[in-house]
Structure 1
Amino acid sequence: MNLELFIAKRIYFSKEGERKATPPVVRIAMVGIALGLAVMILSVAIVIGFKKEIRNKVIGFGSHIQITNFDNNTSYESTPVAVSDTLLNHLKSFPGITHVEAFATKPGILKTDTDFQGIVLKGVDENYDWTFFRNNLKEGEIPVFDKDKTSTDVLISCYLANMLGLKVGDSFLTYFVGENIRPRKFHITGTYETGFVDYDKIFVMADIRQTRRLNDWDADEVSGLELQVDNYDHLDQIAEDLYFDIAEKQDRNGNSYYTRSVKEMNPMIFDWLDVQDINVVVILVLILAVAGFTMISGLLIIILERTNMIGILKALGECNTSIRKIFLYISFFLIGKGMIWGNVIGIALCLIQSFFHVVKLDPSIYYLDAVPIDLTVLSLVLLNVGTLAASMLMLLGPSYLITRIEPAKSIRFE
C-alpha cells in the first residue's frame, strides 16, 4: 500500500468543511493552471495555424520548388528554358517529388472602359494542379485547357474583378509590351480569393500557349517548372539534392537550370514566420511562470495549514521525504484537475474559432481574413506533459519547507 498516496487522497478528497482555508487556495491554484493551459493551447494553435496558412498560400502560387533559367532576374519577364521529355521523366522519378508542371509568365496591362491595372499572365497547361485555386474559388469554375487548342479562358482574383468592375462571363483586353504592343482578349470563367493580396492583385491564370505566343517562344520553352514534394519537412534537403543533380545539365540552347525552394524565393516571408516561434516560446514561458507561482503559493498555504499534521507524522517516525511526497501528490491532484478544465476551455475556444471565425483579421495586413487554428494531437500532448512536468518541478523547492518544521513546536500549532 502506498501510504503517502492514501494520506494525500484523504486530504484532497475530504469534505470542504474539514479543509479550513484550503478550498479558496485550491480554486485559485486550479483556475491559474486552467487559464494558463487554455491560453497556451490557443497560442500554439494560432501560431501553427498562422504559419501553415501563410505557407500554403505562398506554395499555392509558386509550388515547393521552382526550376528556372540560371540567367533569370527577379522580374516576370523571364528568360526561357527548353524542357525535354527526358528532363521531365527524370524529375518525376526524383526521390521526394510528387508532381511536375510547367509555367510561363508575361507582364501586361489589363484594361477596361474606365480602369486599367498591371497584371502578370501566368500560363499553365493541362497538367497543372488546380487544388489550391479550387479551394479558394469564389465564383464560376476553373478553366479547362485542351492540349490541342489554345484557350482564351482565364481565372482572375476577386481583388482584380472588384477593382475593375468585372465578373464571371465578362471579357476584357490586356495589352502586352514587346517590340510591338500586342492586345489580347480574354474571357473570365471564374474568380478566386486567397486573401494574399500581394499575389491576388497581379496573377491571372491562363493557357500556357497564350504566354508562349506573346513571348515568341517555341513549344518546349517555358519560364520554369514547378515541383511539389511529398513532405514539407524534407523540402530543404530535396531542394539541395535536386540543385546539385541538375546543376551541370543544360537545355538544347545551352541554358543552365537554377533550382530554388519556396523559402529561397520568399526569404522575407519565411523569416517573418520563423520569428513567430520565438513569440510563442516567450508566451509559454511567461504563462508557465505565472501558473507555477500560483501553485507554489497554494502548496505553501496547504503546508502551513497542515503544520500540526506534519508534526504528528514526524513524531510517529515518518521521514521528510515521505511527508513531501504526500504534499506533492496533493499538488498533482490540483494540477491535474486544473489541466482538465484548461483542456476543455482551450479546445472549446479553438473549435469555436475554427468553425465560426469569431475573431476577424485584416487580409491586407495579415494575409488572412480570420485568426487561423491548427491544433494537433501531438502539440496538445506535448503541452499537457510539459505543463505537468514544469509545474511539478517548480514545486520540489517549496516542498523543502517541510524539512524545517519541528515536531515539538508544530504539534502545538493551531
Structure 2
Amino acid sequence: MNTELFIARRLFSSKEQNQRMSRRIVRLAVAGISLGMAVMILAVAIVTGFKQEIEGKVNGFAAQLQVVNYDSNQSYETKPINSQPAFLDRLHTIQGIKKVQQFATKPGMIKAGEEIQGVILKGIAADFDWSFFEKNRVEGAVIQLDSVRTDDVWISEQLSLLLKLKLGDRFRMYFLNENEKLPRVRQFTVGGIYRTGLEEFDRMFVLVDLRHVQRLNSWGDDEISGFEIYLDQLDEVDYMEYEVRGLVLSVLEENAPLMRVVNVKQKFPYIFDWLNLLDMNVWIILTLMVLVAGFNMISGLLVIILERTRMIGILKSMGAANANIRKVFLYLSAFLVGEGLLWGNLLGLLLGWAQHYGEIIHLDPASYYVDTVPVNLVFSHLVLLNIGAMLVTLLMLVGPSYLVGRISPEKTIRFE
C-alpha cells in the first residue's frame, strides 16, 4: 500500500471546517490553473485554425508547388512550357503528391459600365479540382470544360459588387501583348461567383477556360504557363520541392525551356511570415500561463504545509522521513492540479465549440483573411498541453516542498 498516496487522498477529500481559509486560497490556485489551461487550449486552437484556414485558401489559389518556365518572373505574364513534358508521368508517381493540374495566367482589365478593374485571368483545364471553389461558391455552376471553348468565368463576390456584375451578366476585358500597339478585347459571361474571404486574392483572380489564355498569348494548344502540384501534407513542401526539382531537371528534353519549381511559401512570403509570428505569440502565451499556474500552486502548497505543520510533526515523530512527507504534499498538489486541468479543459472545449459552431466572434477579412475566428481543436494538442502543464507545475513545486525538512517535530506537535 502506498501510504503517502493514501494520506494525500484523505487530505484532498478532507472537509474540515477549520481549514476554510486555506481551502479558499487553494480554490483560487485551482481556479487560476483552470483559467490558464482554458486560455492555452483556445490559443493553440485559434492559431492552428488560422494557419489551417489561411494556408488552405492560399493553396486553393496557387497550390503548394508550381512548375513554370524559368524565364517567368514574379508577374503573371508568363512564358509557356509544353503541356506534356517528359517528367509529367513520373511526377504522378512521387509519394506525397495528391494532384497535378495545368494552369495559365494572363493579366487584363475588366470594364463594366463606368467601372474598371485590373485582374488576373487564371486559365483552367478539364483536370481542374473544383472542390475549393465549390466550398466557397456563392452562386453559379461549375464551368463545363469540354471540346467547345466556353465564355463563362468565375469572379469573386468582391469583384461582382465593385463592378456591379450579377450572375449571367456579360462584360469586356482588355489585354496588352508585347509588340502589339492595340489591346485585345474579349467578352465573357459571369457563370459563377465565389467568396473566400482572402480579399487580396478575391479581387485578383478570375477563373476562365484555359484556351482563352492560350489564344490571348498566341500560344499553341499544347502550351501552358505551368503545372500546379497539390501535396498531401503542407509541412512537407520544402522536401517535396527538392524532390520535384530533382525530377524536372533530370529529364530535360532537347530544345525544351528550362523550368523551375516555385514554393508557395516563397511566392507569398508575407502571409507565411505572419503565420510564423502567430506561432511565437502562442509560445509566449503558453509560457506565461504555465508560470502563472505554477506560482499559484506554490502559494497554495505553502499555505497547506503551514496549516498542516502539526500533522508533519506527528509523522516525523512516528519515523516518517522528509522525502516521504514531501511525497504526500506533491501527491496532494498533483490532485489539485489535475482538478484545475479538468475544469480548464471543460471550459476551453466549451468556448472552442461555441465559437466553432456558433461563429460568435467576427473579424475583418481585409486584415485577418477570415471573417470569423477559426478554431481547430485537436486531441493530440489537448493531451500534450495537459501533460506539459502537469509536469512543469509539479516540477516548480519540488523546491517549495523542501520546506517540510525545516519543520521540527518537538516544536510542532503542540502547534495550534
Q: Give the alignment's TM-score, normalised by structure 1.
A: 0.97
User: Contact between 1:119 and 1:204, CA under 8 Å: does it hold in 2?
Assistant: yes
- Between stretches 385-394 and 252-261, larger displacement belongs to 252-261
1:141-156 aligned within 5 A:
141-146=141-146, 148-156=147-155
Question: 2:161 is matched with which residue?
Answer: 162
Question: 2:207 is matched with which residue?
Answer: 205
CA offsets, 1:308-336, max 9 Å, x none?
A: 11011101110001111111111111111
Question: 1:384 is matched with which residue?
Answer: 386
What secondary structure does 1:32 align onto?
helix
Question: 1:70 is matched with which residue?
Answer: 70
Question: 1:322 is matched with which residue?
Answer: 324
User: Contact between 1:82 and 1:252, CA under 8 Å: does it hold in 2?
Assistant: no
What secondary structure does 2:257 align onto?
coil
User: Contact between 2:87 and 2:248, CA under 8 Å: does it hold in 1?
Assistant: no
User: Contact between 2:142 and 2:192, CA under 8 Å: does it hold in 1?
Assistant: yes
Question: 2:130 is matched with which residue?
Answer: 130
CA offsets, 1:216-236, max 9 Å, x none?
A: 001111111101112223221
Question: 1:397 is matched with which residue?
Answer: 399
User: Contact between 1:324 and 1:400, CA under 8 Å: does it hold in 2?
Assistant: yes
Question: 2:246 is matched with which residue?
Answer: 244
Deviation at 1:50, TM superposition (A): 0.7
What secondary structure does 2:126 align onto?
coil
* Amino acid across the alignment from 1:195: G
CA offsets, 1:167-214, max 9 Å, x none?
A: 111111111122131111111111111111111101000000000000
* Amino acid across the alignment from 1:410: T
What secondary structure does 1:194 align onto?
coil
Deviation at 1:79, TM superposition (A): 0.8
Question: 2:7 is matched with which residue?
Answer: 7
Runs of 4 or more consecutive aligned structure 1 residues displaced over 3 Å after TM superposition: 248-253
1:34 aligns with 2:34: yes
1:172-191 aligned within 5 A:
172-178=171-177, 179=180, 180-191=182-193
In 2: Cα distance, 1:297 partner to 1:348 partner: 29
* Amino acid across the alignment from 2:152: D
- Between stretches 251-260 and 390-399, larger displacement belongs to 251-260
Q: Give the alignment's TM-score, normalised by structure 2.
A: 0.97
Deviation at 1:238, TM superposition (A): 1.2
* Amino acid across the alignment from 1:78: T
Q: What is the total number of aligned residue pairs between the two structures?
A: 413
User: Contact between 1:196 and 1:368, CA under 8 Å: does it hold in 2?
Assistant: yes
CA offsets, 1:322-353, max 9 Å, x none?
A: 11111111111111111110000000000011
CA offsets, 1:78-108, max 9 Å, x none?
A: 1111122643212212232221111111111
What secondary structure does 2:187 align onto?
strand
What secondary structure does 1:149 align onto?
coil
What secondary structure does 1:247 align onto?
helix
User: Contact between 1:46 and 1:372, CA under 8 Å: does it hold in 2?
Assistant: yes
In 1: Cα distance, 2:272 partner to 2:139 partner: 30
Question: 2:228 is matched with which residue?
Answer: 226
- Between stretches 278-287 and 243-252, larger displacement belongs to 243-252
* Amino acid across the alignment from 1:233: D
In 2: Cα distance, 1:16 partner to 1:334 partner: 17
- Between stretches 134-143 and 316-325, larger displacement belongs to 134-143
Question: 1:262 is matched with which residue?
Answer: 264
CA offsets, 1:107-139, max 9 Å, x none?
A: 111011121100111100010011111111111
Give the CA RMSD over aligned residues: 1.3
CA offsets, 1:152-180, max 9 Å, x none?
A: 01010001001011111111111112213
Question: 1:407 is matched with which residue?
Answer: 409
In 1: Cα distance, 2:229 partner to 2:20 partner: 68
* Amino acid across the alignment from 1:287: M
What secondary structure does 2:212 align onto?
helix
Deviation at 1:381, TM superposition (A): 0.4
In 2: Cα distance, 1:71 partner to 1:85 partner: 17
